[in-house]
A and B are shown apart, each in its own frame.
Chain A
Amino acid sequence: MGSLELTQGVVNAILLSGTLALVAIGFSIVWGILNIINIAHGAFIMLGAYVTYWLFTLFGIDPFLSIPLSMITLFIVGYVIQRYLINLVIRAPLLVTFLLTFALEIVIINLATFFWKGDLRSVTPAYSGAGFTIGAVQIPYVRLGAFAISLLLTGLLHVFLTYTKTGNAIRATGMDIDAARLQGVKIAQSYALTFALGSALAGAAGSLISISFPIDPTMGGAYTLRAFLICVLGGLGSIPGVMLGALLYAFIEVFSGIYAPGLKDAIALFVLVFVLIVRPTGIAGKAFYH
């Protein structure tokens, strides 16, 4: 393996880390604020990917332009699910909420397979193969675009949580639910908004993934696991932590793909269990959305 392959691997990992950060950030805020592991997160990513796919296939809408639509769709889906289902049992023991989102995932994937079939599909705009080269390192436009949009959305989320009243209310809910209520925060509303926000980000991630990779109804499970792994690596509850975790994980994934193809998933799972056991609070330690 030469230095060219190494440089290309580094570039690929950095580009991938953007999308992965977006995959994990929605999962992270839901976990951090609501204390729910949303197993259906990957199914939301899949739905976002299909929104982009159908808009492109049926109406020829550019995949990058469909991102806001996919976010709005998933925002509504997430809001309804949280407000009228998960909120009913949110303070029940962990097994209940865990099993509930697990069941949601099964239902969504099963319905998607039923209506859209299990075939692999891909979104192929005219520029999908194009890119530019620096030296001998190739940079496809779609990957670079996905990276830029991921950073933009992550930045917007940070601004929203830090500088808006609603964002502050969400953070307050995550810190101390009783204190937040005393300050006039409507908890049910705040939870539903957080979950909706997490789902919308999953939708955006799905749209970006559909531009670079083939999609099918079962694609989401692997992303739920990745999102969890990234949160564990980076530590729960901070945006920079998630970005660091995504970068670390992207390097693990890209380089285990180069050196040991076929064992990619096994290595990722091993890293997960290892990190959980050695450092359960994550590499970046504990922080909380500031």
Chain B
Amino acid sequence: MKKSGELQNSPQAASKKVARQKVLLGLVGAFVVLLAVLPLFASGFWMRTLTLLFLLAAMAEGWNFIGGYTGYAAFGNVAFFGIGAYGTALSMLRLHFPFFLALLVGAAAAMLFAVLVGLPVLRLKGHYFAIATVALATGVGEVADFWTDFTGGAAGLTLPFFHPIQLSNYFFYYIAFVLVLFGLGLTYFIMKRKLGYSWLAIREDEDAAKMMGINTTWSKVVAFALSALMAGLAGGIYAYWNTFVLAEEVFKIEYTLQMILATVLGGPGTVFGPFIGAFIYYILITLLVFFLPVGQLHATILGLIIILVMVFTPQGVMDFLSGRKRLTLSALLENIRTHKV
């Protein structure tokens, strides 16, 4: 996705942009501090909601590496979430590993899968890549469902509770929060380095990137593996938190759609976009569920939000927040103006 009009030449505009970015950074900083001290005031319900939100934000940060920065429409990232969940659960149950070691095993398994699958699949482009990832995620989910001896199949896996149980809410809140911060830091770190620039180069023109001597295969596989790392860690945390792992739950295609939607809502290919997008998504969903008696129509709401976002702001809200664009009706209709027939 090309962005035009980003370079503003006049010094006033440049200094205004810097000032605006400082304000934005300050706001995000204040927000992070608020979230860090929130458990002192918040009820269990809100802590659980925010924990879920953090896990989604972490997965979205992961998807951003491959989908946002590298420009590969990966539609099977839930596979990494599921593998992370199963890897963590099985290491705790079969090998009696402590949770943190098991979590690393789960994430490593997800990354290994991403590398093995990524090497052939990342050679595909466009629609072919997108569908191949959907197919792989579906396939892995089916294998987990049928391989009863190893995964427990349809009976699922039951994990021990976190001990002491009174601290359980705090433990999972903070570990998910740290994962989000880790994702932000990792994104910032990589995007200042050669690897980050190679992703952008691949997104804009892969052949040209290759001509410039970038090892595109390696760059893409690393992006895919890092997105697997984030989703795998989120999956492992979710498994222990939920104390139950079931294939049809942890391989749900809705999770992939949610992480893509969060990224796209916030702004694909930006550091804070997925994090902000996850918040917007949760606020929207919570408000809609609160005010409308939707019940079983939860998926319809998700679908309608996706449709509206795709039609009006497929570049996310980061453009508006960072002052690159002003929020006007004509800005909202710009996508239609440039892409309709």
Contacts and interface: CB of A to CB of B under 8 A. Distances in A.
A89 interface: yes
Nearest to B133: A273
A4 interface: no
Candidate in B142, B310, B314, B340 with the most chain A CB atoms within 10 angstroms: B310
B14 interface: no
A276 B129 CA distance: 9
Given A91-B338, A98-B73, A266-B139, A106 B303 contact: yes
Contacts of A191: 341
Nearest to B146: A262
Contacts of B120: 273, 277
Contacts of A96: 310, 314, 339
Contacts of B296: 110, 113-114
A104 to B, nearest CB: 7
Contacts of B123: 277
B144 to A, nearest CB: 12
B341 A91 contact: yes
Contacts of A106: 254, 257, 299-300, 302-303, 306
Nearest to B340: A88
B22 interface: no
A95 interface: yes
B138 A225 contact: yes
A103 interface: yes
Contact of B260 (A91, A99, A228, A276): A99
A119 B341 CA distance: 40
B272 interface: no
Contacts of B143: 266
Contacts of B128: 232, 276, 280
A114 B293 CA distance: 13
A94 interface: yes
Contacts of A269: 135-136, 138-139
Nearest to A36: B127
Contact of B300 (A31, A95, A111, A277): A111
Interface in A84-120: 85, 87-96, 98-100, 102-107, 109-111, 113-114
A114 B303 CA distance: 15
A273 B135 contact: yes
A31 B128 CA distance: 12
Contact of B299 (A31, A107, A266, A273): A107
A94 B73 contact: yes
A89 B124 contact: no
A18 B83 CA distance: 38
Nearest to B307: A103
A89 B139 contact: no
A148 interface: no
Interface string A6-36: 0000000000000000000000000100000
Nearest to B309: A99
B257 A272 contact: no
A87 B311 CA distance: 10
A254 interface: no
A187 interface: yes
A41 B200 CA distance: 33
Contacts of A159: none
A5 interface: no
Contacts of B300: 106-107, 110-111, 114
A61 interface: no
Given A89-B339, A110-B297, A273-B120, A98 B130 contact: yes
A143 to B, nearest CB: 27
B208 interface: no
A99 B310 contact: yes
A225 B253 CA distance: 14
B341 A104 contact: no
A31 B311 CA distance: 20
Interface string B297-336: 1111011101100110010000000000000000000011
Contact of B336 (A37, A88, A103, A266): A88
Contacts of A107: 299-300, 303-304, 307
Interface in B4-41: none
A265 B145 CA distance: 13
Given A87-B340, A87-B341, A94 B303 contact: no
A102 B130 CA distance: 12
B195 interface: no
A188 B341 CA distance: 6
Contacts of B254: 106
B306 A99 contact: yes
B275 interface: no
B75 interface: yes
26 contacts: A87-B340, A92-B339, A94-B130, A95-B268, A98-B73, A99-B261, A99-B264, A99-B310, A103-B303, A107-B303, A111-B297, A111-B300, A114-B296, A188-B341, A225-B135, A228-B131, A232-B128, A265-B139, A266-B143, A269-B136, A269-B138, A272-B131, A273-B132, A273-B135, A277-B120, A277-B123
Interface of A: 31, 37, 85, 87-96, 98-100, 102-107, 109-111, 113-114, 187-188, 191, 225, 228, 232, 262, 265-266, 269-270, 272-273, 276-277, 280
Given A266-B142, A269-B138, 12 more contacts: A37-B130, A92-B335, A94-B73, A96-B310, A102-B257, A106-B303, A107-B303, A107-B307, A188-B341, A225-B131, A225-B135, A273-B136
